[in-house]
Copies of this chain bind each other. A is one copy, B any other.
Amino acid sequence: MHHIISPSPLGALDFAKHHCKPKKLLIVIGDCLIEYRGRAKSLLDWGERIVIIKQDGAVIVHQPVMREPVNWQPSNTKTDFSADDKKFIVNTYHKHPNEKMKLTFRNVQMMMVTSLKDNARIVVSGMETDIVEKIMEKPDVIEEGLRITKREKQTKSGMIDLYGYDKKGVPVIIEVKRSLATIPAVHQLRMYVNDIKRKNMEANIRGILCAPRISKIVKNLLEDYGLEYKEFGWVKEIVDKKQRKLF
């Protein structure tokens, strides 16, 4: 791990050239102006930010607030450095899509280079897949007597999450949302149901939107279209099952 405090622009360039090799991670903190051009175009006026150039070439720029980076480049971005006696400049280039970002520093507070070792992969649970799996395993959580026959069935209108029959043998289509269900989700479910109705020449098909909660407008839409809502509350049980071995 190497670092330098308050280098001059040429000092910063020297540090970058000397230490910043492939597979190294560089952090620069300083006062910069940022121009981006690619899928869109942006300009960010002077201000003090943190810039991280990661070991895979990804570049992220953080202002002192907010979770999101204000500017960035994805993995496999090429970076080069230049300077004169007033400015230290970082240029980044990416292909497919073509994008470039230029950072012009008029002051650098600190730079550091290191190489981090991290082979761990995060394990997350409680997401839509987990909920779908839970319903597959034990369809009674939706409705007594429900049988699931297919998962992620392809239709002309897109993919549906679950397909099966209720205890009376009526076909049931289920769309799962792990958070607040949206209006497009209702339209999507309605299209699924219509497609199946048309295809099977079958008028009696149920569509169920399964989510922890829905807004009033979504509730009304479902009613208008003869669709149903099943609240699938907080998935504590699912999370605990998957995480038992982790914690």
Contacts and interface: CB of A to CB of B under 8 A. Distances in A.
A166 B183 CA distance: 28
A70 B122 CA distance: 7
A11 interface: no
B60 A67 contact: yes
Chain A contact patch, size range: 35 or more
A136 interface: no
Interface in A176-198: 179, 183-185, 187-188, 190-191
Contacts of A34: 122
Nearest to A234: B39
A50 B187 CA distance: 42
Identical subunits present: 2
A152 B147 CA distance: 42
Contacts of A50: 25, 27, 52, 116
Contact of A35 (B109, B127, B220, B247): B247
Interface in A56-83: 56, 58, 60, 62-67, 69-75
B62 A67 contact: no
A55 B158 CA distance: 43
Interface in A206-240: 217, 220-221, 224, 239
A41 B122 CA distance: 10
Which 5 residue pairs of A and B lie closest in terms of their CB atoms, listed nearest first? A47-B118, A184-B184, A40-B126, A187-B187, A45-B120
26 contacts: A1-B109, A27-B27, A27-B50, A35-B247, A40-B124, A40-B127, A41-B124, A41-B239, A42-B123, A42-B125, A43-B246, A49-B118, A54-B66, A55-B64, A56-B66, A63-B120, A64-B115, A64-B116, A65-B75, A109-B114, A110-B112, A156-B220, A183-B188, A184-B185, A184-B187, A187-B190
